[in-house]
Every structure is written in structure tokens, then in C-alpha cells.
Amino acid sequence: MNYFLDAIQWIFAPVWVHGKSRIVNDIIQRVGEHVGYTLVSVAIATAVAVPLGYLIGHTGKGKQLAVGLSGAARALPSLGLLTILALAIGIARAPIAAVIVFFLLGVPSILAGAYAGLETIDRSTIDAARAIGMTEWQILTKVEIPLGLPLLLGGIRSAALQIVATTSLAAYIGLGGLGTYLFAGLGTHDFAQTLGGAILVAVLALAFDAFSALFQKFAVPRGVAATQAKEVRIRPHRPRAVVGTPTS
Amino acid sequence: MIEFRSVSKEFPDGTRAVDDFSLIIPSRKTTVFVGSSGCGKTTLLRMINRMVDPTSGQIEIDGDDIAAAPPVQLRRGIGYVMQNSGLLPHRKVIDNIATVPLLTGVPKKKAHADALELLDRVGLDRSLADRYPSQLSGGQQQRVGVARGLAVNPNILLMDEPFGAVDPIVRADLQNELIRLQRDLDKTVVFVTHDIDEAFLLGDQVVILQKGAKIAQVGSPTEITENPASEFVASFIGVDRGKRALSIKKTAHGSILIDGEGRAAGRLVTASVDNVVASE
Ligand SMILES: Nc1ncnc2c1ncn2[C@@H]1O[C@H](COP(=O)(O)OP(=O)(O)OP(=O)(O)O)[C@@H](O)[C@H]1O
Ligand SMILES: [Mg+2]
């Protein structure tokens, strides 16, 4: 309990440091770095995994390969990979190494969310869309993507969560982020700082998750949400938040 | 007019679903493909809008070989109604009906106005326009499916067991509705069913199929009932038993008709041949 109080105290006793243009709270700066790495990695992972996932989901081809590679990527130990990559491409380009590792971490969930989203759509819905004269592109954009959205967003959400937690490792190769406090505290036996850092990571992860949940709620079109809700025939319903968990 | 010329279809796994099938489907009439499960009805139907391409043979619509027509354009000109409605679950009823018109650039306002009229046509209340398909009963969904099939005002309407998944009362409703619609619209309807009663009720031309889409008999319901081409047809349409095997029984008060199970099916009255044909 004492550690915990110490940690809270540590969080609220700001250390002022020189930022780019003015003096800022060190914690704010670290949070900024942390969020920055997370967003960049999630964005790149999304940009790569979504088209790939859609290709697999729409054509039904290449799924075995994707599952295999995703499994392999998931099994990679992040810390080890980060160290090796940073050493291999040079510590000066360490940020690139970090983003590559976090990207690899995020791809499997997003890929799975993208193709599972398409895969779970009733075949007869797609067949009917084709039979009334939609082009393949229209089937993808007007049927498959909207109907697959809940699972895709679920995939991105879990990728973001994993990355936000793992970004703590960035500090291990001197890139800052909230991990700085974990490693610094461990090094100096300043457990208030370690615990404080851990609490901040946890709070940030929760904030990310809450934000993703809200985004999911508002980004899923009403009609798509309606298809997910049950017992809709009993009375006029309100769409509820759709939480999709991709399976792979 | 749709013409099948020696059409065969062998699927990649070696299944020969259609074996040398030839038939003329007259315009503005209802042609029904009827046969037991797996005999190739759906495959035949889907070859008309190129959802399935034949392995050999030709299909012509009004004299033009459809193999030369781009599938998307071809499909947009042909109405298609399937068993489980195939509606887009994330779109409102009105947008489902207007799907193809909207794709082909009809202004939204007009497409929606037309869709509302189609709701009337298929006997649905306009208040359903803003619902999602999951908020409709199975019968209502089928009606919306029919409305969507009619949205481009096609000459040809393909229907694959459209009333197969609804209860008998609703089915009878939908069948009557289709008969009424067809009287107004005069489409070339190609209808698939495995229910011979439905085939005789709806069809001007009934095509009884056996495995591999082999034609057992083609004709009007009257012709087929009068003169079944084979044992198979006779037993398939049930003239040798059940409610189509009627016999006359003389009673003290006149003649009554008895069906295959010995139940009274009706009273014998004299009817002109014209009336009989008209009621088919
Ligand atoms: N895509 C396909 N690949 C392989 N075989 C197929 C395919 N589609 C249909 N078949 C086979 O072709 C045959 C005819 O199928 P079809 O769907 O045309 O039958 P059907 O008369 O419509 O049957 P049902 O009344 O059950 O709908 C069946 O043996 C079926 O298994
Ligand atoms: Mg079928």
C-alpha cells in the first residue's frame, strides 16, 4: 500500500524539463513519446494489414499463409527482436527498429480482424449482391467492408492495446516513452518511480481502449450494428456498441 | 425468348450438374423448372444470368448469345430472387430495393420514389421502408426480394425457390401475389421449385427434370396431367395416388370425386373445357 501511495505521489510531483520550445512536465513529454510510437505503429500496421486482409477475405485465398505468418509474428519475443534490430541497423536509427517491432506486433490482430470480418459474412448475401449485378469492387466496398467493420475495428483495438503496453520497451534502447520510468526505477531501486510508470502505462492503455470502444460505437454504421443486435423484431431498438473479437 | 442449346455444365470437381440440356423459354410466360433436390435446377437458372457459365453449348436471349455479354451488365438487366431473400442486412428496405438503380446512376430521389411504389406493388406497407431486413418476417423479406428483382423493370425475372422457406399460408399468399403481379407485368419468369403443386399453380410451361437436368417432360400443367410421358412423371406429379388420383363414386344423390386416400375431394359438375383451362 505504501509503495502505491509513493507511486501516486511520484506521479503528482512533476519534474520539469526543457522541451523543444518551453519547459514541460517530464511525464507529459514521456506520454507524448509513448502515444507517438503507438499511433505511428498502429497506423502503419493498419495500412499494411487491412488491404492484405481484405484481399485474403475477398478471394478466400492465402489464408493458410497468413495464419502461419501471423502465428510466427506473435511468437517473436519483442524485447529480443528490438535489441537485435537496433544493433543491426544501428542505434542511430533505433526509432525505425522500434516501429518495425511494434508494427509486427500489431499486424496479426488487424490482419485477422480484416479477413475474419469478411469471412463471417453470409455467403448468400455476397452471392445475391453479385447476382443482381454488383461488380467485385462494389461487393467489396458496399457489402463486405461495411459488414466486416465491427471485427476489423475489434482487431485494430486489440493491436493498439498490445502496442501501447509493449511500447514501454522503447526505453530499453533509449527512445523514451513511459518505459523510461520502469527501467530507471528498476536501475536505482526507486520503486515509487517504477510503479508510478507502470500505473501510467496502465492508465494510458485503458484510455486507449475506452477511446477505441467509443470510436467503434460511432464508426459502425447503424445498419451494420442492427444486423448484429438480436431480438430486433420485438420493438424498435437502439443500436448498441458492437464489440467484435476476431478469431484466427 | 430464352433458348438453351445443348447446354452442359460440369463443375471443377467433376459433378455433371447439367447434361445436354435444350429448351425454349417463351417470352412473357412463366416457365417452371421442377425436380427433386440436386437435379440441376439452380444451375440451369444461374446460367441465364451468367452466375454459372456452361462448359459447352449456348444460351441465347432474344437471339443473342449471352456468352458475349459482360456478366455485370447482363445481371443488371435481369431480376433475381432467391430463397433467403439475399437482402443486404446493413441497408434499409428502401435502399435494398433501390440497390441496382442507384448503382446505375438513377438519382436517389427517383430511385426511392420508385422503391416505394414497388413496396405497394408487392403488397407491403410503405412504413416498412425504413426498417432493416432483420426487422421483417420471412414472408415480408421475400416480398422485398421480389420488389428488388423488379426494380430495374427487367424483361426477365429469375426466381429460385423464392417461397421455399415460408409457412404454407404465407406461401399461398405469395403465390397468389405473384400470379397477380404477372398478370399486370407480363415478364418472362423462370421459376425454380421442387414442389409440383407450386409448379402447376404458377407455370404456363412446366419442365420436369431428373438428375443431370434431364428433361422428363415439358408442357402445360394440363398436358402433363392428361398425358404423363413416363412412369417417373406420373409418380412425380402424383396422378397415381394422393389428391391428384381422383375417381368417381356414385352415390344416392349423384357423383362425387374421391382422392387417392379415399377422401371426398369434390362433386362432379359439368364444366366447359374453356373453364378448366382458364383455371389452370
Ligand atoms: N459450385 C458447385 N461445385 C460443385 N458441384 C456443384 C456446385 N453447385 C452445384 N453442384 C452440384 O450440381 C448438382 C446440381 O445442383 P443444383 O444446385 O443445380 O441443384 P438443385 O436442383 O437446385 O437442387 P436443390 O433443389 O437442392 O436446390 C448437385 O449435385 C450439386 O451438388
Ligand atoms: Mg437449388
How far apart CA A20 and CA B50 sit, in angstroms, is: 65
Burial tier of B237 (Cβ tally within 10 Å: 0-12, 13-18, 19+): buried
Q: Which amino acid is at A9?
A: Q
Residues of chain A in contact with residue B89, where contact means CB-CB under 8 angstroms, are 122, 125, 147, 223, 226-227
CATH topology of domain A2-233: MetI-like fold (1.10.3720)
Confidence check: pLDDT of A126 > 60: yes
pTM: 0.83
Are B103 and A129 an interchain contact pair (Cβ–Cβ within 8 Å)?
A: no
Contact A122, A227 (CB under 8 A): no
Distance linking the first and last C-alpha atoms of chain A: 40
DSSP single-letter state for residue B212? G
Confidence check: pLDDT of A227 > 80: no
Per-residue pLDDT of chain B (280 residues; tens, 9 = 90+): 999 999 999 999 999 999 999 999 999 999 999 999 999 999 999 999 999 999 999 999 999 999 999 999 999 999 999 988 899 999 999 999 999 999 999 999 999 999 999 999 999 999 999 999 999 999 999 999 999 999 999 999 999 999 988 889 989 999 999 999 999 999 999 999 999 999 999 999 999 999 999 999 999 999 999 999 999 999 999 877 777 778 888 888 888 888 877 888 888 887 655 544 444 4
Q: Name the residue among A113, A123, A119, A124 with its Cα closest to residue A149.
A: A113
How far apart CA A228 and CA A237 sit, in angstroms, is: 12
Q: Does A133 touch chain B (CB under 8 A)?
A: yes
Q: Which amino acid is at A53?
A: G
- Ligand 1 pocket residue status of B40, Cβ below 6 Å: yes
Are B72 and A135 an interchain contact pair (Cβ–Cβ within 8 Å)?
A: yes
Residue A2 C-alpha, separation from nearest chain B C-alpha, in angstroms? 54
Q: Which residues surround ligand 2, an ion (CB under 5 A)?
A: B 42
Per-domain boundaries in chain A: 2-233
Q: What is the mean pLDDT of residues A131-147?
A: 95
CB-CB: which of B77, B84, B90 is closest to A224?
A: B90
Residues of chain A in contact with residue B100, where contact means CB-CB under 8 angstroms, are 132-133
Give residue A148's Cα distance to chain centre: 17
Residues 6+ apart with CB under 8 A from B245: B238, B239, B259, B260
Residue A114 C-alpha, separation from nearest chain B C-alpha, in angstroms? 18
**Centroid of ligand 1 to alpha carbon of B31 (angstroms):** 20
- Ligand 1 pocket residue status of B9, Cβ below 6 Å: no
Determine which of B106, B128, B134, B142 to mutate to test the interface with A (most A C-beta atoms within 10 Å): B134
The residues pairing with B248 across neighbouring beta strands, listed in sequence order, are: B257
- The dihedral region occupied by B39, where left means phi > 0, alpha psi between -120 and 50, and beta the remainder, is alpha
**Cell 422457406 sits on residue:** B165
How far apart CA B66 and CA B7 sit, in angstroms, is: 13
Pocket test residue of B42, B161, B211, B214 for ligand 1, highest count of atoms within 8 A of CB: B42
Tell which wins on pLDDT, A244 or A105: A105
Q: Percentage of residues in chain A with pLDDT exceeding 90?
A: 41
Q: What is the pLDDT of residue A173?
A: 84
Neighbours of B274 (CB within 10 A): 8
Q: Does A1 touch chain B (CB under 8 A)?
A: no
Q: Does A234 touch chain B (CB under 8 A)?
A: no
Q: Which amino acid is at A24?
A: V
- The dihedral region occupied by B213, where left means phi > 0, alpha psi between -120 and 50, and beta the remainder, is left
pLDDT category of residue A233 using cuts at 50, 70 and 90: very low
The residues pairing with B56 across neighbouring beta strands, listed in sequence order, are: B8
Q: Alpha helix locations (H) across chain A?
A: 2-12, 26-59, 63-75, 78-89, 94-119, 123-131, 136-138, 145-166, 179-188, 191-219, 222-228
Cell numbers found for residue B234: 406420373
**Ligand 1, atom nearest to B46 Cα:** 18
Q: Name the residue among B232, B230, B211, B216 with its Cα closest to residue B19.
A: B211
Q: What is the CA radius of gyration of chain A?
A: 21
Q: Name the residue among B81, B278, B274 with its Cα closest to residue B178.
A: B81
Residues 6+ apart with CB under 8 A from B38: B211
Phi, psi of B269 (to 5 degrees): -125, 160
Confidence check: pLDDT of A234 > 50: no
User: What's the mean per-residue pLDDT of chain A?
Assistant: 84
pLDDT in tens, A62-95: 888 888 888 888 888 888 888 888 888 888 888 8
Residues 6+ apart with CB under 8 A from B242: B259, B260, B261
The residues pairing with B214 across neighbouring beta strands, listed in sequence order, are: B210
Q: What is the pLDDT of residue A93?
A: 86
Which ligand ends up closest to the CA of B38? 1
**Cell 420471412 sits on residue:** B138
